[in-house]
Amino acid sequence: MKKYAIIVAGGTGQRMKSAVPKQFLLLQGKPILFHTLLQFKKAFADIELILVLPLNQFPTWNLLCQEHPEILQTCPHQLVEGGATRFHSSQRGIQAIAIEQQALVAIHDGVRPLVSVESIQQAYQHAQEYGNAVLAVSSKDSIRQWDHHKNVYLPLDRTQIKLIQTPQIFEISLLKRAYQQEYQDLFTDDASVVELLGIDIHLVEGNYSNIKITSPEDMLIAEALTQKV
């Protein structure tokens, strides 16, 4: 089946507090987005890549592609303008795909460059079998939830909790239908959008190195995890 990956990088990275948008920061000397795109290309040589960026970041990305010619040599991709929220960026990426054939579409955070090739391949396999697949890991920490009646945080059974990652992979017609829905604040990922159609989400074991680069210490962790020995 035809495979697409939509790499959403339409955010402004407020929590990273860096002058350079976090998706362009250099990890082992290469832009974070290059690492992300490359993992999908390594997973499937024939995959079609769509990169979603804010329109005002297109010139910076084009410059980076000139400075690092290996980006376009190894990971040719279509550039699509992002939206106001992650939902709207995913929606625009999805609109860029024609629906003339069956296809599996992965939506992946541009700032998760350490996703493994094996996880990507495994997730596509599960999506082929179950119609969708979402990477997730168990919590290594204890978890508490605010109780509005008691005005206190109460412990949850962490064996019942999963921490959700990307990629999140769906059949194209399902995604197109899901993203016709009106935006809601509870849409923090693509699975929550699809689920509202009454579809059960299929979780696949992810891995702990697939971190989302969100705040400054995440760059140190990513550098350490990619260190060549």
Interface residues with ligand LQXTBERG (CB under 6 A) are: 86, 109, 164-166, 188-189, 212
Cβ neighbours, 10 Å, residue 226: 14
Phi, psi of 90 (to 5 degrees): -60, -45
85 in helix, strand or coil?
Answer: coil
Helix (H, G, I), strand (E, B) or coil at 191: helix
Residues contacting residue 118 through CB under 8 Å, at least 6 positions apart: none
The Cα 62–Cα 65 span in angstroms is 5
User: Which amino acid would we find at residue 28?
Assistant: Q
Query: For 171, which DSSP code?
Result: E
CA distance 172 to 100: 10
Q: Quick one: which segment of 9-17, 41-49, 71-79, 191-199 binds ligand CTP (CB under 6 A)?
A: 9-17
C-alpha distance from residue 44 to each of 105, 122, 167, 224 (Å): 13, 12, 14, 26
Binding test (CB under 6 A) with ligand CTP, winner from 83, 113, 167, 206: 83
Q: Of these, 10, 31, 113, 206, which contacts ligand CTP (CB under 6 A)?
A: 10
Residue from 5, 38, 111, 222 in contact with ligand CTP (CB under 6 A): 111
| Closest chain position to ligand LQXTBERG (CB) | 189
Tokens encoding 30: 């290469």
Per partner kind, with CB cut-offs from 5 to 8 A, the member of ligand LQXTBERG, ligand CTP, none near residue 108 is none
Options 109, 126, 165, 204; binder of ligand CTP; rule CB under 6 A: 109
Closest approach of Cβ 33 to ligand LQXTBERG, in Å? 15
Whole-number Å distance between alpha carbons of 58 and 142: 41
Out of ligand LQXTBERG, ligand CTP, none, which partner does residue 206 contact, by CB within 5 to 8 A per kind?
none
Determine if 13 is a binding residue for ligand CTP (CB under 6 A). Answer: yes
Instruction: Pick one of ligand LQXTBERG, ligand CTP, none as the site partner of residue 14 (Cβ within 5 to 8 A by kind).
Output: ligand CTP
Residue of 60, 85, 181, 209 interacting with ligand CTP (CB under 6 A): 85
Options 2-10, 94-102, 171-179, 203-211: segment touching ligand CTP (CB under 6 A): 2-10
Taking CB under 6 A as the rule, does residue 191 contact ligand CTP? no
DSSP H or E stretch at residue 209: none
Using the rule CB under 6 A, give the single segment among 8-16, 60-68, 70-78, 128-136 that binds ligand CTP: 8-16
Q: Which is nearer to ligand LQXTBERG, 109 or 171 (CB)?
A: 109
Q: Does residue 113 contact residue 32 with C-beta atoms inside 8 Å?
A: yes
